[in-house]
Amino acid sequence: MPAKLSVNVNAIAMLRNRRDLPWPSVTGLGRIALAAGAHGLTVHPRPDQRHIRFSDLPEIRALIDDEFPQAEFNIEGYPSEDFLQLVERHQPEQVTLVPDDPAQATSDHGWDFVNQVAFLKPVVARLKKSGFRVSLFSDADPAGVAAARDTGADRIELFTGPYGACHSDPAKAAMELEKLGKTAETALAAGLQVNAGHDLVVDNLPQLLRRIPGLAEVSIGHGLTADALEYGMAGTVTRYLKACGW
């Protein structure tokens, strides 16, 4: 089965937040994305609410429950107590834990699994007890996979930023792709499923999916939102689904 597409709506929310106005509508564009065939929506609510607001979460949950019950809600974030309680209130299908400092502009590295397994293990257990699938943000490094598995998580999400940054350097992109591929192979052999996200676009998705044919899901926000300015949200989702092999 091709990798599923989850549309990250953070960039839409950030544009909305430039004015004290309700547009562009996060749920409105999320509805268009899901109607066009996207398999889910992703958000990363930060403590300062600089893009997704906490008030967006019940609206997105209701959109999926009422209109697209086959779709999934994925909430990303650093596992502070406030974040964990937010997740427990809004009941996503998947929780993706990232090692972000609140001041970071965006996620830019994965967990140090070997040194943070003791921190992550009880967090993962708490989330799984509530019935959530748990994914952990991961660098392209096979050496950390065993410790990631030992946390009890279901999946890792490969940080594809270094790969996406090589858009004008094919040789370097090939090197980064191989690192991602080896990490994914190690994870799959260890019984973990594999997601991927960060700076993925229509042009670099097919190569990633050929190298990692077992990829479960890609989460895409910035590039997809940028393309939506040109092709519209529905047309853009169609293009990304095609790139994923649907």
- What 8-state DSSP symbol labels residue 147? H
DSSP 80: -
Tokens read off for 236? 């853009």
CA atoms within 13 A on the CB side of 131: 6
∠ CA(86), CA(105), CA(50), 5° rounding? 50
**Catalytic, out of 72, 76, 176, 217:** 76
Decide if 198 is catalytic. yes
Give yes or no: 76 in active site: yes
User: Which backbone phi and psi does 3 adopt, to 5 degrees?
Assistant: -65, 135
Q: How many residues are present in the chain?
A: 246
In angstroms, the CA 34 to CA 194 distance is 22
Strand partners, 197: 159, 219
Measured CA to CA, the distance from residue 196 to residue 200 in angstroms comes to: 9
Least Cα distance to 133 among 150, 111, 156 occurs for 156
Sign (positive or negative) of CA dihedral 158, 76, 198, 216: positive
| Annotated catalytic residue within 44, 51, 176, 217 | 44
Q: Which of 90, 176, 198, 217 is catalytic?
A: 198
- Give dist(CA 130, CA 201) in Å, integer: 33
Q: Is 44 a catalytic residue?
A: yes
Catalogue the active-site residues: 44, 76, 198
